[in-house]
Amino acid sequence: MLAVLLVGGGLVLLLVIVAVVAVVAKSDDKPRRPLTLPSVTYGVPTTRPTTGTGTDVLGPTIRTAKGNTFTRGGSRTASCIARANSDLLTELASHPCVGQMQSALYMNPGQTVTTVVSIAKFASSSDASAISSATNGEAEPTLLYPTADSGLPRPSGKPGYWTRSWSQGSTVVYAQSYPSRGGQSGDRSGTVFLTAGELGTEVTNTILWSN
């Protein structure tokens, strides 16, 4: 921009450079893109089982540190290979899990968000950490839904969802949340993302304190 100033009867030409900073906000934050959280966890879980197995941790209800009670709507036990998507299968070839993957489906108090919590064990903490880190590359369990006769809300099609994971010792915890009746899952400030974090953190802390 060129500015003209009158100084002492003379003209002074000033070349003013204007820097324009553009801040671009992504409107398509790809809710299905997973996020891996650090393995460090905080707080004492509300429920402390005697052991840290998936069967003990994934009980009929889970009450979180925030005071919310999540109700189990179904459960599944299967091999890690049977539950893995194609990207996770690739990772399991280098870091195989030990035993079965324990999974349970939970509804939030208003039944607006469904969360599938899955627990897998590995031979070492380094294996677990590698698998959890691979969640960033969309290496994750396949999504589970309520059965038709469960009476719970179900999405009509494949919903948007968030996958979050934690490693605690040789264990990996997945929390996969989606809108119970389908639709978009929102961004990181939305209910779906935060619900996955709330329930996943509670389960991870429970495993931490039970060992």
Cα–Cα dist 88/106, whole Å? 23
200: three-class secondary structure by DSSP = helix
Cα–Cα dist 117/137, whole Å? 19
The pLDDT value recorded for residue 55 is 59
Q: Among 135, 134, 201, which residue's Cα sits nearest to residue 168?
A: 201
The pLDDT tens digits for 64-87 are 999 999 999 999 999 999 999 999
Q: How far is CA 144 from CA 28, 126, 141, 153, 175, in A?
A: 24, 27, 9, 13, 11
The pLDDT value recorded for residue 27 is 21
105 pLDDT tier (thresholds 50, 70, 90): very high
Name which of 29-43, 98-112, 168-182, 187-201 the model is least confident about: 29-43
Cα–Cα dist 129/40, whole Å? 12
Cα–Cα dist 175/207, whole Å? 14
The pLDDT value recorded for residue 1 is 44
The pLDDT value recorded for residue 93 is 97
The pLDDT tens digits for 27-44 are 223 345 444 333 333 333
The pLDDT value recorded for residue 210 is 80
Cα–Cα dist 158/197, whole Å? 21
Residue burial 51-76, b: 16+ Cβ < 10 Å; e: rest = ebbbebbbeeebebeeeeebeebbbb
Burial of 183 (0-12, 13-18, 19+ CB in 10 A): middle
29-147+158-210 under CATH 3.40.1000, yes or no: yes
Cα–Cα dist 58/166, whole Å? 16
* Token reading at 30: 């790809």
Name which of 6-15, 84-93, 107-116 the model is least confident about: 6-15
